[in-house]
């Protein structure tokens, strides 16, 4: 257990439905990251927060995706009007400070299946 | 564009042997590299990192080698154990965006007891 928890662990939804995932980082970590991982591939960066500010978003994060971290603690990732191509593992990570050499701790992920 | 890739998608080694996992990167601007281990059902776990001003860095049973001339990175695991069985990812970042980590596609390491 890394201390980063994600909920739910698994989610099956019908195409067109909205889903929301939650990430609780390690409490003193000010940086929080979201990644998406498909089978056999490495995680792909989606976005990250420093405290409550969303500082960077990937081109992968279409208009249907939105992430929030309202109080600088937990974060939510919402996908609207889900598509089958959204099926993936969604990983959250947190770290204490910026810069190279700062270890990020990953949660176990939320596996989304869109049917 | 930016990409980080691996030469071998799968690797099987005998317990006790040394393992070498290779990685190629294409972005000359990358100056920080990380190896992650991902076990089934878990998120990636940091193993070891190296900055571009270094050629080699050693950890406990692991060594990372960086060859900037040919943009090549390798992870050496000494005396491989069954618990080392996992998928290994190399990843890169650059000074202008250390928080945006770009992962390669991964190598699956299987340790034969």
- pLDDT tens-digit readout, B28-85: 888 899 999 999 989 999 999 999 999 999 999 999 999 999 999 999 999 999 999 9
User: Which residue in chain B has the smallest CA separation from A42?
Assistant: B105
CB A2 to CB B43 under 8 A? yes
Select from A60, A100, A105 the residue whose CB has the most chain B CBs within 10 Å, as the one to mutate to test that interface: A100
* Model confidence at B2: pLDDT above 80: no
Which of A4, A31, A107 has the CB atom closest to B99's CB atom?
A: A31
Q: Could you give the 3-state DSSP secondary structure of residue B28?
A: coil
Which of B89, B95, B100 has the CB atom closest to A42's CB atom?
A: B89
| Euclidean distance between CA atoms B60 and A52, whole angstroms | 36
Residue A83: cis peptide before it, omega within 30 degrees of 0? no
Give yes or no for a contact between A58 and A77, defined as CB atoms under 8 angstroms apart.
no
Would you say how long chain A is, in residues? 115
Select from B5, B37, B39, B43 the residue whose CB has the most chain A CBs within 10 Å, as the one to mutate to test that interface: B43
Average of per-residue pLDDT across A85-114: 90
* Model confidence at B106: pLDDT above 50: yes
Residue range A20-76, pLDDT digits in tens: 999 999 999 999 999 999 988 899 999 999 999 999 899 888 899 999 999 889 999
Question: In terms of pLDDT, which residue wins out, A104 or B6?
Answer: A104
* Beta partners for residue A105, in sequence order: A94
CB B42 to CB A108 under 8 A? yes
CB A56 to CB B44 under 8 A? no
| Euclidean distance between CA atoms A23 and A3, whole angstroms | 11
* Beta partners for residue A56, in sequence order: A48
Pairs of CB atoms within 8 A across A/B: 63
Residue range B58-69, pLDDT digits in tens: 999 999 999 999
| Euclidean distance between CA atoms B22 and B107, whole angstroms | 9
pLDDT at B4: 56
Q: How far is B16 from chain A (nearest CA, A)?
A: 26
Which of A42, A44, A100 has the CB atom closest to B32's CB atom?
A: A100
Beta-carbon neighbour count of residue A5 at 10 Å?
Answer: 16
> Nearest to residue B75, comparing CAs of B25, B104, B29, B36?
B36
Beta-carbon neighbour count of residue A51 at 10 Å?
Answer: 12
């Amino acid at each position: 257990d890394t201390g980063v928890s994600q909920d739910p662990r698994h989610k099956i939804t019908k195409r067109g439905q909205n889903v929301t995932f939650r990430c609780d980082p390690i409490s003193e970590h000010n940086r929080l990251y979201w990644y998406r991982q498909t089978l056999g591939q490495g995680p792909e960066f989606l976005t990250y927060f420093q405290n409550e500010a969303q500082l960077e978003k990937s081109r992968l994060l279409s208009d249907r995706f939105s992430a929030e971290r309202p109080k600088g603690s937990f974060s939510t990732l919402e996908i609207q009007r889900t598509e089958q191509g959204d099926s993936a593992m969604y990983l959250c990570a947190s770290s204490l400070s910026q810069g190279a050499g700062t270890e990020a701790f990953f949660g176990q992920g939320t596996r989304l299946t869109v049917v | 564009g930016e990409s980080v890739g691996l030469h071998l998608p799968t690797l099987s080694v005998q317990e006790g042997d040394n393992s070498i996992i290779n990685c190629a990167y294409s972005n000359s601007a990358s100056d920080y590299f990380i190896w992650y281990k991902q076990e089934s059902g878990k998120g990636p776990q940091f193993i070891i990192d190296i900055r571009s001003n270094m050629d080699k860095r050693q950890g406990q049973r692991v060594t990372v080698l960086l060859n900037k001339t040919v943009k090549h990175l390798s992870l050496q695991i000494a005396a491989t154990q069954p618990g080392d069985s996992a998928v290994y990812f190399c990843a890169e970042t650059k000074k202008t965006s250390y928080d945006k980590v770009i992962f390669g596609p991964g190598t699956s390491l299987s340790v034969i007891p």
